[in-house]
Chain A
Amino acid sequence: MNEQLRAISELDRVIHEPGRLMIVALLGAVKECDFLYLLHETEMNKGNLSGHLARLEEAGYVEIEKTYRGKVPQTLLRLTRAGRAAFDQYLQGLKAAF
């Protein structure tokens, strides 16, 4: 198989989905952020965003922490070590593919 095609076929499909790619790209650039920030930046609706986050959490890529800011509930999100490694690998794969 052609090297480029192989690189494309080996891209992580959990991350490759556009909605999840947006989430992981944003989380990859920060230490942590909250649900509201992702909602604002990705312009997804709450249901879609929650669904993608649940999928990423299931894959072990994202850590979700429910907490409070004063009396307001806050959902903090961060990439796990595995998530960061998977994203780095995804970027390398992308570079190889294009």
Chain B
Amino acid sequence: MKKTVLLSLLAAAIPFVGTGCRTPAHYIQTGGRESLVNVNQINIQDFIEAANTATSDLLASGALDKVANPPAVLAISRIVNNTGQQIDTDLLIKKIRVAVLNSGKAQVTTTMGLGGTAEDPMAKGLQQEAEFKSDQKTTRTPDFTLSGKIIQTTAKDGNTSQSTYSFQLSLTDAKTGLAVWENEKEITKQGGRPSVGF
């Protein structure tokens, strides 16, 4: 009898023991201090920091102010991913676009893209239709193009591994083809693998 009671109590306790150490699902601030950090992965806080550095530097440089008809028009060119992981470069570029638009210094075209592709095909169609009907060119040629590259450099020593992510961006004057602003932000992360792990 005693054995049965003991076994029942043990069986009932197992789920609590199993879940006791587990953190229940909860919300955290995106990019905040509680965010997970991976050495061999670009985390969301890295994208936020890289976008913030690039935007601050771009706005402070005054490069976007040197246009005849402000705000400047910006087209997004190629953003090369040279890291070992598959990433959506919009995690970086979209943040810069939003920040630059909110600053009032530039607007990004969504009807002109790399290789003639439009980010918003419907807008492009409507724009072409309006131009055809009015027989007037309404499209503003971009003043600048934004291109860039994300590079990963790794190093390892014993159980310690390190990754440096370089976020490189260039703003090119569409008329002259010359880069009028360039920025590189490097984020380095280091971590050790536990000698005993599961």
A is bound by B: no
